[in-house]
Chain A
Amino acid sequence: MSTRAKELITIAIIAVFSVVIYILKITGVMTGIEFSGTVSTIIIIAIFLALLVILIRTLRGHLVDRRTVFLFIAFSVALPLLMNISQKITVSGEVEQVYNAVIDLQPGSRVLVSFDYDPASAPELQPMAESFLRLCFMRDLKVIVMGLWPQGPQQAELAMSTILEDDEMKAKNIKYGIDYVNLGYQAGNEFVVQRMGSDFKSMFRKDYSGRAYDDLPLVKNVKNFSNIDYSFNLSAGYPGTQEWVQVAVDRYGLKMGGGNTAVQAPMMYTYLNAGQLEGLLGGMSGGAEFEYLANFTGKATKYMLSQSFAHMVVVAFIIIGNAAFFRSGREKKL
């Protein structure tokens, strides 16, 4: 059979499988799959045995195809999503700092949350956004949302709609304009932050839904950063936490914590160590730790098993890769 035929058959099998599962889903026959503890353990052992076989083959000189690595990573990420295993979460100091900063605020304090990311980074940052907003509302804090990325305020709306489905949140009777405000997106990157340092209204004459700034009771008396008690920046790149630190924190003395993608997080530790940032949530693990502190099981906690399992597989492949490297010696291209 030709390679092309094999590829087409594989695609056909995936398509048929997807259609069947989808039909089962919409007809209500299947409401989800959950592996028991025993099945989960068997799966984990099987994967690690397969990795051991790959290591032995590598040591014998049979290098593994890169697509095999991709396949293993796919399984190590997908299968734990179906497993019913809980994972212990250890809270780091910088996450606790964000939590304490929120807890220490008096009810009624104003918190500014800037959503500086887009859907591409949502898997990491959306769980942080949801748990942070949830904690703020649980503590009766007033939340002002904005974005330096065009899609940021949309992500904020998504987060709000998700947490407002929660019964505890419904009981809080959160009102737009009084308990929270979405000021929307403003173009201009860090220059927006700079202008906000003297006057919020000059940057946000209207909110996300088109209401005038002065018609929003929560913000009508908010002139600049001196009226903000704490700020939290969810950032996936530029403009993001670095720009907020440089302008809002260092120039205007805003108290700020950061929620960053894991790619960005290491760079933010310099600001954390120098006291420019008050707390940091780095990547999904940061989100999961925050959820643990906030006593809330969100998506970050649910995803952590996949994350940890995938990390173990990556570590295994690093060992396999190094075994191959030291066995064959590094080839010079030039």
Chain B
Amino acid sequence: MEHFALWLAAFLTLGIVSFLYKDNPWYKLCEAIFVGLSAGYWFVVLFWDNIYGKFWVGVFPLEEFDEAGREITAEPDYWLFVGAALGILMLMRLVPNIGWISRWPLAFIVGSTAGLYLINYFSSNMMRQVQGTIVPLFGAGYDASAYAIVGNIVVAVGTFAGLVYFFFSKEHRGVFGGTAKVGVFFLMLTFGASFGYTVMSRMSLLIGRMDFLLGDWLGMIK
């Protein structure tokens, strides 16, 4: 069984990699297996974790006992019916005449998530970041290294210029336009660094697969 599993994994890996040469039936087979398997996997995960694990068990808790034999069955949570009702409303779009009802739960999801995210993003990505940008650019008796000072200048100027670039209420002309260009310059530098990191990430994935093919499968790596 172990031999079969290894060969199957190698067959699928090489099949997907063969796309780099050109689209071919081997790749199509692997793609179909991957898509089918993953769709099935997610269906099972979502069913057992959400519909069964969250809703069903939440409303009708299973009888549970701890190791000492004491009952620790949870209290039923009837609020979950509200969520279930919204879920059923979502399915209403299968009935053409009342399909519009499905927009209600959609509105609930969009509205509640936006509200919850507002605080998270506002606090972590705006307030804390503005606070983190208040850094000294230079100073007598300021015992930071040249590296730290350059870093501070990059953070302060880059953040300011970046904000100017993303300011949509004013045309990018004159000094404002110039600052926006500095902002784009910083953005491109950031993207370059980010690209480098991603190359590293992709290489890591490839190394992982190569390790499998040459090591686990063929046993060539000592």
Contact = CB atoms under 8 A, between A and B. Distances in A.
Do A and B interact with each other, yes or no?
Answer: yes
Contacts of A31: 219, 222
Given A81-B221, A123-B207, A303-B207, A266 B194 contact: yes
A73 interface: yes
A247 B124 CA distance: 9
Tell me which of B203, B206, B219 has the highest count of chain A C-beta atoms within 10 A of its own C-beta. B203
Nearest to B54: A187
Given A73-B206, A246-B124, A263-B198, A274 B129 contact: yes
A276 to B, nearest CB: 6
Contacts of B211: 81, 123, 299, 303
A25 B219 contact: yes
Contacts of B50: 187
Given A246-B124, A250-B124, A307-B207, A283 B200 contact: yes
Interface string B45-60: 1000110011000000
Contacts of A21: 218-220
A24 B207 CA distance: 23
B214 A276 contact: no
B67 A215 contact: yes
Interface in A190-237: 190-191, 205-206, 211-212, 214-215
B38 to A, nearest CB: 11
Nearest to A249: B124
Nearest to A216: B67
Given A81-B214, A123-B207, A212-B64, A262 B198 contact: yes
Given A21-B220, A32-B220, A212-B72, A275 B123 contact: no
Contact of A284 (B207, B214, B221): B207
A187 B120 contact: no
A283 B67 contact: no
Given A81-B214, A190-B120, A123 B10 contact: no
Interface of A: 14, 18, 21-22, 24-26, 30-34, 67, 70, 73-74, 77-78, 81-82, 120-124, 150, 185, 187-188, 190-191, 205-206, 211-212, 214-215, 242-243, 245-247, 249-251, 261-263, 265-267, 270-271, 273-276, 282-285, 299, 303, 306-307, 310-311, 314
Given A276-B128, A307-B203, A311-B200, 5 more contacts: A31-B222, A73-B206, A185-B49, A270-B129, A307-B200
7 closest cross-chain pairs (CB), A and B: A123-B208, A274-B132, A32-B222, A25-B219, A262-B201, A246-B120, A262-B200
